[in-house]
Amino acid sequence: MLEEQIQELTSCYHINRKLAIKKFVELSHSQLSLIEDTDGEVIYSSKDTFKKGRYYFLGLNPGGTGKIKIRDHLDGFPTRTDNSFLDEEWNIETRNYPKGNNPLQLRVKYLFSEYLLNYVLQDVFATNLIFKTTPTSDSLNYGLAGLCWGVHLLALSIVQPEIIITCGNSQDKSAFSFISDLYAGKIECHKLAGTFCIKETRIIIQNRPTLLIGLPHLSLFEIRNNEDCRKKLLEIVNKYDSDKK
């Protein structure tokens, strides 16, 4: 059934992108019917990222206190112009931050800035592996990843990224471990300071060669002005690009 939905979506996209976004929302509702009345968020980027792009960026799940139902957040996607990393206030218990200035938001912005990947963040399709909001990852039902993955396959059929980047790469619970296990990727680790590392694997998704990169979680790891991280991440990306030629 999912394969039929993907074909339906891609056919619609080739005719009219605006209608395809609405179709994506409709099909995603069918995939998420068991959880869409719980708090959560689906797409962090704007509707304009629903197109072919170089990168697909995802974390584990929305954290903190739930503020919207999954159903309602998904319904807002066809008119969404905001980017969660740029246009939202992400506050914590002990501090309030201006829009886009939570440390995690700043680090994601730096990742795609001219100092590192040199790609416009507003053009990056951004989401989470699991859409349900939980206060911490410890309280997250990791089994929901399988339920949410159908929505990712719908989105991936349109975005067709060359590179998927995950925020977090723990073997226990992360988007990286879920995807690499699902597609049987051979993992390479590039050590950084302390216990941190960058993980990479090359996989095939929907018959497309894809580089999967797992970064340390950017709420814990300072990526800004980190020359060792910058050098190793760019080496991974540049080697992948070179090998494709």
Quick one: which of 230, 173, 175 has its CA closest to 203?
175
* The domain over range 2-244 is classified in CATH as 3.40.470.10: yes
Digit-coded pLDDT (tens) for 10-41: 999 999 999 999 999 999 999 999 999 999 99
CA distance 28 to 36: 10
Alpha helices by DSSP H, listed for the chain, are 2-15, 17-31, 70-75, 84-87, 103-111, 144-159, 175-182, 227-244
Percent of the chain with pLDDT over 70: 100
Query: DSSP code of 186?
Result: P
CA distance 171 to 193: 18
Digit-coded pLDDT (tens) for 150-191: 999 999 999 999 999 999 999 999 999 999 999 998 999 999
Digit-coded pLDDT (tens) for 226-238: 999 999 999 999 9
Q: Is the pLDDT of residue 242 over 90?
A: yes
CA distance 125 to 58: 8
Q: How far is CA 28 from CA 53, 122, 153, 205, in A?
A: 20, 22, 10, 19
pTM over 0.85: yes
Query: Could you tell me the residue ranges of all domains in the chain?
Result: 2-244
